[in-house]
Chain A
C-alpha cells in the first residue's frame, strides 16, 4: 500500500523542505519508489536541496492545469534512481493549484509510487489547504522554540478540523547543550504540550548547511548527527522500532552545576 505524507509546520523556516528532501532520499535508498511534490508555489526550494535545479522542464502547475502529463514533469534523481521530484512553479502563486487538483493528481501517482511526499508552504492559508488535501499522514515539523511550538499546535488543530487523523511530530534543530542548561524546551515539555506521536528529534547540525550547499541531503553524509536522526526517522516511517538518539555529552556548565549541587 502506498502512502501519501505531507510535511507541514505552520511557522516558516523550521525545516519542512530539509525534512522532505531527507526522508525522500532515505526512503529511496531503502529501495522504495518515491515522488516528492513541492507545493510551495512561487518559492521553489526542494529542487535546490536535491541538486536538481538545472533539470526542470515542466512544473506542478503545468500538470494540474492539464498542459502536460505528470510523468513528463517528473525529474528523476541522478544518484537515487527511485527518487523523483515534481517541482512547482517559481512564477505562479499559491492559488494556481487547488486541493481537488492535488487529490486527483496524487490518486493517479499512487499507482506508480510507494511514497508520495508533499512539501507544504508555511502558513495556514490556501497553500496549506492544498498541500494537506491528498495526504493520509501529516508530519508536523517544529523547533524547540516557543513560537514554533505554538504554530505547530495551531496546525495540529487545523489538521484535526480537516479530519487528518494520522499526525506525527518531528522536532528539528535541537541544541543539546541548551536543553541541558535548561534554556531550551526539551522533548518531555513538547510531548506534554502537543501530545502528538514523535517520530524524530533532529539536532541542530552545521552539516545541514553544508549538505544544502552541495545539493546532497545530509542523510547521505556519514558521521553527521542530523543525518543519523533522519535515518532513524525513515526507519520509523517504515515501521521499525528505533530508540531515540542520546543527547550528546554534557557541557561544562552542567558538570559544574552538578559539582555545586553536591555541596
Chain B
C-alpha cells in the first residue's frame, strides 16, 4: 500500500533534480578535462600498443572511460585478454 502511494507521489523514483546533478557531475569531468573523443581514442590506441607486447587483447570488446564515483574520478578500462604471449 505504502509502495503504491510512494509511486503515486514519485518517491520511489529518483527526483529529476538529483538526476540532473549526477549527470552534470559526470559530464563536467569530461568537459573540464577537455578530453575529446579523439584524444580518448588515442589513449586507447596507445594502451593497446603497450599491452599487445605482453598479451593478445580483444580490441572489439575493449571499453575505456572516465568514470565518476561519488567523490573521485577514475579512468576505468575493461580489456578482455584472449591469450598471454610467452615472455621474450
Residues of A within 8 A of B (CB): 145-146, 149-150, 153-154, 157, 178-179, 181-186, 189, 192-193, 253, 256-257, 260, 263
User: Bound state CA distance, A154 and B30, in angstroms?
Assistant: 11
User: Bound state CA distance, A253 and B10, in angstroms?
Assistant: 11
| 14 CB < 8 A contacts A-B | A146-B24, A149-B24, A150-B31, A154-B31, A157-B32, A182-B16, A184-B17, A192-B21, A257-B11, A260-B5, A260-B6, A260-B9, A260-B11, A263-B2
User: Bound state CA distance, A257 and B8, in angstroms?
Assistant: 11
State whether the Cβ of B28 lies closer than 8 Å to any Cβ in chain A.
Answer: yes
Residues of B within 8 A of A182 (CB): 15-18
Residues of A within 8 A of B24 (CB): 146, 149-150, 185, 193
Q: Is the CB of A153 within 8 A of B15?
A: no
Task: Tally the A-B contacts, defined by beta carbons under 8 Å.
Answer: 50
Residues of A within 8 A of B23 (CB): 146
Q: Is the CB of A153 within 8 A of B20?
A: no
State whether the Cβ of B27 lies closer than 8 Å to any Cβ in chain A.
Answer: yes
Q: Is the CB of A181 within 8 A of B15?
A: yes
Give the residue name and chain of the B residue nearest to A157 (CB).
B32
Residues of B within 8 A of A149 (CB): 24
Smallest CB separation, B82 vs chain A (Å) = 40
User: Bound state CA distance, A179 and B16, in angstroms?
Assistant: 10
Give the residue name and chain of the A residue nearest to B5 (CB).
A260
Give the residue name and chain of the B residue nearest to A180 (CB).
B17
Question: When the two chains form the complex, which single residue of A157, A178, A185, A253 contacts B21, counting CB atoms closer than 8 Å?
Answer: A185
User: Bound state CA distance, A178 and B17, in angstroms?
Assistant: 9
Q: How many residues of B contact A (CB 8 A)?
A: 18
Question: When the two chains form the complex, which single residue of A145, A193, A256 contacts B28, counting CB atoms closer than 8 Å?
Answer: A193
Q: Is the CB of A153 within 8 A of B17?
A: no
* Residues 22-39 (chain B) with a chain A CB within 8 angstroms: 23-25, 27-28, 31-32
Smallest CB separation, A132 vs chain B (Å) = 19
Q: Is the CB of A256 within 8 A of B17?
A: no
Residues of B within 8 A of A145 (CB): 20
User: Bound state CA distance, A182 and B22, in angstroms?
Assistant: 13
Smallest CB separation, A219 vs chain B (Å) = 29
Q: Is the CB of A183 within 8 A of B21?
A: no
Smallest CB separation, A52 vs chain B (Å) = 38
Indicate the member of B16, B20, B27, B32 with the most A CB atoms within 10 Å.
B20
Q: A260-B5, A263-B2 are in contact. Are A153 and B32 (CB under 8 A)?
A: yes
User: Bound state CA distance, A202 and B23, in angstroms?
Assistant: 24
Residues of B within 8 A of A186 (CB): 17
Smallest CB separation, B29 vs chain A (Å) = 11
User: Bound state CA distance, A186 and B20, in angstroms?
Assistant: 10
Question: Closest 5 interchain pairs by CB?
Answer: A182-B15, A189-B21, A146-B20, A183-B16, A182-B17
Residues of A within 8 A of B6 (CB): 260
Q: Is the CB of B20 within 8 A of A150?
A: no
Given contacts A146-B23, A157-B32, 19 further A-B contacts (CB under 8 A): A145-B20, A146-B20, A153-B28, A153-B31, A154-B31, A178-B17, A179-B17, A181-B15, A182-B17, A183-B15, A183-B17, A184-B16, A185-B24, A189-B20, A193-B21, A193-B24, A193-B28, A257-B9, A257-B11
